[in-house]
């Protein structure tokens, strides 16, 4: 797609009903780019977890959340990271580009518990969805008492939490800033997402193709996500050799 330039360009894609900052871009990659990436994901790198499969590139972080700096494989870089650059998505992170990608695969009925991504990374995640659609559930992370206080102060009403973001195949979701640090995200382990409409899906009006969710229903298939991040700590020796250290 024709992407506008820089931070101002990304603003056009902000999900306005959610706390800053979530951005949703449908058709961020083409169907042939999607097929080519799915084809190149290595079959022998999967780690099977109880409700999904996962692989980590270039490698898993150490116990101290350090990345052994190494280049990402080319199929994860082009054309995706060039488009990130055009939109300025990682312009404010320490390495000004992603250095780490988690690939998650969810089959029908699988999901991930509500969680936050934590302090190992700069507070930006860019998620490219492949293969199938599903809803990311967004909730506040306070205790019940805090949530209640927020709702009394009108915060919940202002931002309509909890809510869902529908992630279509080939779309990009960017989570940044307060949305990264102060909210939880998860994926319900269900065989279909139901009740999809403007009032229940934060990005309903931004979808590339609402027509496929007839009667507000999304029958899950297999969905693969690529989550791009900038790991803060990159191991010194490797990062010097590879020229990937902090600038
Ligand atoms: O698959 C997704 O969209 C979310 C994955 C996720 O939350 C994570 O890997 O931390
Ligand atoms: Fe996450």
This model of the complex carries an ipTM of 0.99
Q: Specify whether the CB–CB gap between 13 and 25 falls below 8 A.
A: yes
Task: Considering every ligand atom shown, identify the ligand nearest to the alpha carbon of residue 127 and give its number.
Answer: 1
117 CB near ligand 1 (under 6 Å) = yes
In this structure, the number of other CB atoms found within 10 A of the CB of residue 135 comes to 24
Q: What pLDDT shows up at residue 160?
A: 75
- The structure's pTM equals 0.90
Instruction: Please say if the pLDDT value at position 169 is more than 70.
Output: yes
Q: Specify whether the CB–CB gap between 230 and 89 falls below 8 A.
A: no
Instruction: Please say if the pLDDT value at position 145 is more than 90.
Output: no
Instruction: Please say if the pLDDT value at position 146 is more than 50.
Output: no
pLDDT in tens, 80-127: 999 999 999 999 999 999 999 999 999 999 999 999 999 999 999 999
Q: Hey, whose CA ends up nearest to atom 10 of ligand 1? A: 117
User: What 8-state DSSP symbol labels residue 119?
Assistant: T
Q: Specify whether the CB–CB gap between 57 and 103 falls below 8 A.
A: yes
C-alpha–C-alpha distance, residues 118 and 139, integer Å? 16
User: How many angstroms separate the alpha carbon of residue 216 from the centre of ligand 1?
Assistant: 23
184 CB near ligand 1 (under 6 Å) = no
| Mutation pick for ligand 1 pocket among 55, 102, 128, 193 (CB with most ligand atoms within 8 Å) | 102
112 CB near ligand 1 (under 6 Å) = yes
Q: Hey, whose CA ends up nearest to atom 1 of ligand 1? A: 225
**CB-based contacts of 238: which residues, under 8 Å, 6+ apart?**
68, 69, 70, 244
The region of weakest confidence among 82-91, 135-144, 186-195 is: 135-144
C-alpha–C-alpha distance, residues 220 and 208, integer Å? 17
| Mutation pick for ligand 1 pocket among 102, 104, 120 (CB with most ligand atoms within 8 Å) | 104
227 CB near ligand 1 (under 6 Å) = yes
Task: Considering every ligand atom shown, identify the ligand nearest to the alpha carbon of residue 100 and give its number.
Answer: 1
225 CB near ligand 1 (under 6 Å) = yes
pLDDT in tens, 64-88: 999 999 999 999 999 999 999 999 9
**SS3 category, 1:** coil
Q: What pLDDT shows up at residue 141?
A: 80
Task: Considering every ligand atom shown, identify the ligand nearest to the alpha carbon of residue 112 and give its number.
Answer: 1
Residue linked to tokens 């010097």: 240
Indicate the length of the chain as a whole number. Answer: 247
C-alpha–C-alpha distance, residues 98 and 192, integer Å? 32
**SS3 category, 22:** strand
Q: Hey, whose CA ends up nearest to atom 3 of ligand 1? A: 225
């Amino acid at each position: 797609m024709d992407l506008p330039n820089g931070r101002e360009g990304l603003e056009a894609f902000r999900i306005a009903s959610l706390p800053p900052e979530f951005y949703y871009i449908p058709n961020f990659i083409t169907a042939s780019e999607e097929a080519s990436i799915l084809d190149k994901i290595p079959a022998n790198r999967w780690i099977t977890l109880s409700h999904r499969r996962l692989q980590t590139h270039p490698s898993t972080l150490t116990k101290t959340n350090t990345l052994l700096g190494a280049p990402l494989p080319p199929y994860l870089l082009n054309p995706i990271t060039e488009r990130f650059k055009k939109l300025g998505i990682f312009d404010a992170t320490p390495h000004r580009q992603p250095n780490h990608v988690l690939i998650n695969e969810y089959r029908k009925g699988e999901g991930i518990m509500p969680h936050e991504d934590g302090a190992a990374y700069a507070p930006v995640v860019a998620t490219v969805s492949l293969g199938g659609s599903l809803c990311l559930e967004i909730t506040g992370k306070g205790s019940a008492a805090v949530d209640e206080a927020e709702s009394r102060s009108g915060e919940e009403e202002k931002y309509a939490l909890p809510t869902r973001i529908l992630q279509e195949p080939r779309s990009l979701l960017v989570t940044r800033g307060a949305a990264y640090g102060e909210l939880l995200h998860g994926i319900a382990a269900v065989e279909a997402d139901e009740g999809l409409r403007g009032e229940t899906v934060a990005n309903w009006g931004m979808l590339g193709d609402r027509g496929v969710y007839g009667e507000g229903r999304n029958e899950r298939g297999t969905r693969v996500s690529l989550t791009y991040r900038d790991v803060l700590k990159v191991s010194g020796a490797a990062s010097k050799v590879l020229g990937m250290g902090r600038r």
